[in-house]
Amino acid sequence: MRNAGAVRAGVAMAACGVLLTTLAACGADGGTSSGRSSGDDARSDEARAVDLKRIPDVGDRYQKQIPANARQVVAVYGDGENSADSTIALFTRTGDTWKKERAWSGHNGKKGWTTEHRENDKRSPVGVFTLSDAGGVLADPGAKLPYTQTASIQAPHYWAKSHWHDFDYVIAIDYNRVKGTPPNDPNRPQGQSKGGSIWLHMDHGSGTSACVSQSKANMEYLLKTLDPKQHPVVVMGDKAELKA
């Protein structure tokens, strides 16, 4: 077990010095709103109680990357390779059966998706990634994942005002990061050129620098629902690539 108090407090202080580098992966994108709502999708109720043997619209390549012990999957279906719009859904598994719990709209990288993510390319990485740690500016809303509240994650106020609350809640996507550390830990195991600080975070109405964003209500829902005992993962990418 981690010594969360000591480890997280130390890392959060160390991360303050690299705040701008860390936030650049997720923050101010200069994009304009697509006009698409980040709230609950009107089809959410229809998505409930659907039993499945596989995560829908995910082909063998990525289906096989879902760990056998994963019982929760956040699926992010990008509208297109170069689109910033996406649909997000939560699936839970009992035995060998998946159930779609909810679905809603969100955003991804302002330039779309890539299977070869690089620092500042403004595209979200395609793949299957574990979800291990959470945090934010706001107090823990009742998260099951380890949660680090820290002001060091605050979006700078020289960014557009619409972005100021992006990091009130975040869930770290385990792409090029060290698990068991706060989301803004600066370490990049694969090197800085591969990018990092890819998060699920709150939406500002348009594409991100590489993260996946959604409404505050949906972030709170995920924080209260994703359980480390269920080994949650995110499966994310544009629809065509995910089906491959």
Separation of alpha carbons 21 and 197, rounded Å: 9
- Name the pairing type of β-strands 212-214 and 199-202: parallel
CA nearest 168: which of 149, 145, 184?
Answer: 149
- What's the chain's length in residues? 244
Convert the pLDDT of each residue in 173-218 to its tens digit: 999 999 999 999 999 999 999 999 999 999 999 999 999 999 999 9
* Predicted local distance difference test score (pLDDT) of residue 52: 87
* Predicted local distance difference test score (pLDDT) of residue 51: 58
Convert the pLDDT of each residue in 115-148 to its tens digit: 999 999 999 999 999 999 999 999 999 999 999 9
Look up residue 143 and give its amino acid.
Answer: A
154: left (phi over 0), alpha (psi -120 to 50) or beta: beta
pTM for the predicted model, two decimal places: 0.84
Tokens of 148: 């680090």
Across the range 44-67, mean pLDDT stands at 80
Mean of per-residue pLDDT scores for the chain = 86
Separation of alpha carbons 34 and 73, rounded Å: 26
* pLDDT-based confidence at residue 27 (cuts at 50, 70, 90): low
